[in-house]
């Protein structure tokens, strides 16, 4: 029987560098299928529809939601983000490993729906570094910044619900740790019962 592909979920508070880590991971593991989310936010310079995200309207998002096309969705800073469901199971059932990069609220929902997934929580190297990364991201007012830092702190407290925690001190080191986790998960007895049974 074909072995089901692994579902790896990389998550963490905003400002932890999830995007950069996932890009590097995919460059090193090109056989993984990256699940492209749909979002209602505007593309940033250089972002391409169908590559980083499917950039869709709020109306389109709501109609996909009504049609139950999302495995999970969340509102992050006023924009909607959702994980299209159908390709994930399809790929996994054909033996392909799938990677999701989603926020904490979304990951907690996927944990309920896909208990066989591998949930990795990315931590910023320090509190100061987290504040710097959030500040460098935008031109928001001190008020908004303060709110984002508070919300990041609350999200980090939810890290205890994950199976693995990786500190993103350098991208290379974080990617190496994630690759090690994926390798170990692929070797778990519970994922290889058929292989053992061949010999009985």
- Return residues touching ligand 5GP (CB under 6 A): 14, 18, 37, 41, 72, 74, 76, 81-83, 101-103, 105-106
| Shortest Å distance, C-beta 134 to ligand 5GP | 11
Closer residue to ligand 5GP, CB minimum distance, 167 or 191? 167
Residue 66: CB minimum distance to ligand 5GP, A:
17
**CA distance to 47, 75, 94, 124, 136, per residue, from 113 (Å):** 30, 19, 19, 27, 35
For ligand 5GP, give the closer residue by CB, 54 or 191.
54
The single residue listed with the structure tokens 């989310």 is 37
Residue with tokens 């993984």: 32
List of long-range contacts for 183-191, beta carbons under 8 Å, 24+ apart: 185/6, 185/8, 185/118, 186/6, 191/3, 191/4, 191/6
Q: In angstroms, rounded to a whole number, what is the distance separating the alpha carbons of residues 164 and 122?
A: 9
Among 179, 188, 198, residue whose Cα is nearest residue 116: 188
- Rounded to a whole number of angstroms, the minimum distance from the CB of residue 160 to ligand 5GP is 18
Task: Return the number of the residue (75 or 195) whose C-beta is nearest ligand 5GP.
Answer: 75
**Considering the complex, what minimum distance in angstroms separates the CB of residue 53 from ligand 5GP?**
7
Measured from the CB atom, the residue of 5 and 106 that comes closer to ligand 5GP is: 106
Nearer to ligand 5GP, 115 or 183 (CB): 115
Q: Which residue matches tokens 């909607």?
A: 80
**C-alpha to C-alpha distance for 52 and 198, rounded to whole angstroms:** 41
Element (H, E) at 105: helix 104-113
Shortest distance (Å) from residue 14 CB to ligand 5GP: 5
């Amino acid at each position: 029987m074909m072995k089901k592909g692994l579902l790896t979920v990389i998550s963490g508070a905003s400002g932890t560098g999830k995007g950069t880590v996932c890009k590097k991971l995919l460059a090193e593991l090109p056989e993984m299928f990256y699940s492209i989310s749909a979002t209602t936010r505007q593309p940033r310079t250089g972002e391409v529809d169908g590559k980083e995200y499917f950039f869709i309207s709020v109306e389109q998002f709501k109609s996909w939601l009504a049609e139950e096309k999302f495995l999970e969705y969340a509102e992050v800073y006023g924009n909607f983000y959702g994980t299209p469901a159908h390709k994930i199971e399809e790929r996994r059932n054909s033996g392909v490993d799938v990677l999701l990069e989603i926020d904490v609220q979304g990951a907690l929902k996927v944990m309920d729906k896909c208990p066989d997934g591998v949930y990795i929580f990315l931590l910023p190297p320090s509190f100061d570094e987290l504040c710097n990364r959030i500040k460098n991201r935008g031109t928001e007012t001190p008020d908004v910044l303060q709110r984002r830092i508070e919300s990041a702190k609350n999200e980090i407290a939810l890290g205890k619900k994950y199976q693995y925690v990786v500190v993103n001190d350098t991208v290379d080191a974080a990617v190496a740790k994630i690759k090690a986790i994926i390798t170990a998960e692929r070797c778990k007895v519970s994922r290889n019962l058929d292989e053992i049974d061949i010999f009985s």
